[in-house]
Amino acid sequence: MAIVNWEIYIAHGDKPCAICEPLDHQVYRQGEGPQPQMHPHCQCERLPYATEYTFDDAQRERISNAYGIDPSFVPPSVFITKG
Ligand SMILES: [Zn+2]
């Protein structure tokens, strides 16, 4: 099973700068995309947003057997948001 963590970009302050404002609430794979601090005095941050679990074929078959459903009904991955 592959696990990928996703993060959400949070632009802080009443008036986020022009660099960070368009990034506000964008979601990126951990380690990819823009990272704060993008500029001097940047107060933005990236917070944990979700965990994505990707199943291989053997795991999908085990899940389908455990629940008595057709393997085609088992999604290739699930996306679980935090909080
Ligand atoms: Zn910023």
* Chain segment 5-22, per-residue pLDDT in tens: 999 999 987 777 888 999
CA of 3 to the centre of ligand 1 (A): 28
Confidence of residue 83 (pLDDT cuts 50, 70, 90): confident
The amino acid occupying position 79 is: F
Residue 61 binned pLDDT confidence (cut-offs 50, 70, 90): very high
Pairing of strands 77-81, 2-10: unpaired
Determine what percent of the chain is predicted with pLDDT higher than 90.
Answer: 72
Report pTM.
Answer: 0.78
CA of 80 to the centre of ligand 1 (A): 27
CA 27 to ligand 1 centroid distance, Å: 15
How far is the centre of ligand 1, averaged over its atoms, from the C-alpha of 15 (Å)? 10
| 5 secondary structure, DSSP code | E
What is the pLDDT averaged over residues 29-39? 92
Distance 70 CA to ligand 1 centre (A): 47
The per-type count for the chain, helices as H runs and strands as E runs, is 1, 4
